[in-house]
Homo-oligomer: A and B are copies of this chain.
């Protein structure tokens, strides 16, 4: 074993993260990450867990008791939801309108669900009628749909789906990783049974913790499959025959760990808990509606800016998330080289794309801490310079001016 000389302490370069996420965290979230640790059952720890649950009830707009964090990135939350709700062979309906719809289907398939998909063209959302028609046809146990799919920037309207799911006896699950905090979200008012997210988008934290909330109906499903793990199981503890085929992502055990019984499961990721708590605290301190409005304004300014600069926006703008816009890469501009110049010369990061859009569009985000005027204007100014350098026809200064106008007239 030969090893390179030891590196020094971590010392990241200055970056303005204006891609589809992860984005630059709020400074106070970073400060929270470095707070000293306490023990797993320290009264301060359990109080902080309870407090964090209550904060996320505010973020989700829910009264759900079962509002916790899954210790992993957003897809850990997705997998925890699907593997805990869906028994092998049960039907799951996934309306797919971008990459993350495919991900929900993929995770449900691995959980041995019978997966049915319907697909919308990239850049479009589904009508309520199209989803209801599929529910009637498939009769799924769970409807699983993302709210915002960063791959296309689309924001699927969810507000009418809960009533439809309730009418048809379907559990209604959405992943709001890309959208939560930057767009309206009402877990209870929209009739959601399960919702999951991550910190690294509009919540303004690092990836690695997945907020999740479950309705009493969803908790009943999870509880019916409960199996307390060997090593801590006591006489009389449940051991369902159709227990969840994951230990780490078994919501039955995760809820018992967060609940009054405090049954040992994983060792809660304390620093991520601190960070997640601060993300929610900041959001509620600013106000849920005010944070969405800040994202709406930043998104409107960025949209006006890229359009005024002469760039073509991808997808159905009427259904775009507030926090991300996709623009077509101008003819002749090498997409990756231009993104590299933005990063190297300005420290500004914008995003590339997946699947059918790869090489065709850039994605520019305005999320969390970076849903700010100076971040929007700096990004547009840097983009001006880089587009000009690569010979794209640009209208110098017009993007910045248009974005500034949006802020001025707000």
Contacts and interface: CB of A to CB of B under 8 A. Distances in A.
Given A22-B39, A24-B36, A71-B73, A10 B102 contact: no
Contacts of A265: 75
Interface string A184-202: 0000100000000010100
A108 to B, nearest CB: 10
Interface stretch (A240-248, A316-324, A372-380, A381-389): A240-248
A129 interface: no
Interface residues of A, number: 101
Interface string A213-245: 000000000000000011110000000000111
A262 B122 CA distance: 24
Interface string A280-317: 01001100000000000000000000000000000000
Contacts of A42: 13, 15, 343, 349
Interface of A: 1, 3-4, 6-7, 9-15, 17, 19, 21-25, 28, 30-40, 42, 44, 48, 51, 54-55, 57-58, 61-63, 71-76, 79, 83, 99-103, 105-107, 109-112, 151, 188, 198, 200, 206-208, 229-232, 243-250, 264-272, 274-275, 277-278, 281, 284-285, 343, 349, 354-355
24 contacts: A7-B51, A10-B32, A10-B278, A15-B38, A22-B37, A22-B40, A34-B34, A37-B206, A38-B349, A42-B343, A71-B73, A72-B248, A75-B266, A83-B246, A99-B231, A103-B229, A106-B231, A111-B245, A206-B271, A207-B268, A207-B269, A208-B270, A208-B271, A231-B354
